[in-house]
Structure 1
Amino acid sequence: MIFRDRLFRRFDFIAVNLASRDYLVGDGFTVADAYLFTVLGWMKGFSIDLDRWPATARYMRRIGGRASVQSALARQAETPPVE
């Protein structure tokens, strides 16, 4: 429970920052956005619903809708798992 509380406080911080901007850092997409998108995507596996943080959920939809991200996700889906 302590881990979840600490994680949620960090999500609160991210959501506050994303409420007033489209990207995590600056005015354009950066590697920080790519990384945050990836890490936030893992939350499904932990049954954490990002809709609790509406600005973050909008961010995920916006970043996920980028053509480059769609392309990367499609290529990832085609890649066989490492055994």
Structure 2
Amino acid sequence: PRSVIGKNTVEAMQSGIIYGFAGQVDGVVARMKKELAADPDDVTVIATGGLAPMVLGESSVIDEHEPWLTLIGLRLVYERNVSRS
């Protein structure tokens, strides 16, 4: 969206989706950092998945983007199990 305040229905809906989701991400991550670490700066936040780029620029807490993290993890599990047989 061009701005947070939409100029028509479509822009308003797009803005609500993008900025609303980015706000949710920021809020949840802030709470998780509080629970996980004495120093919140010790936590690295990695956005994953194909739609992550839509909120990367709007979220203030995302440190890295790895769209293939799940598949990388599955490959590592596979490789560890194949070597055992």
Q: TM-score, normalised by structure 2?
A: 0.37
Structure that is richer in helix per residue: 1
* Larger Cα-atom Rg: 2
Q: TM-score with structure 1 length normalisation? A: 0.38
Structure with the bigger RCO (C-alpha within 8 Å, sep 6+) is 1
- Bigger fraction of residues in strand: 2
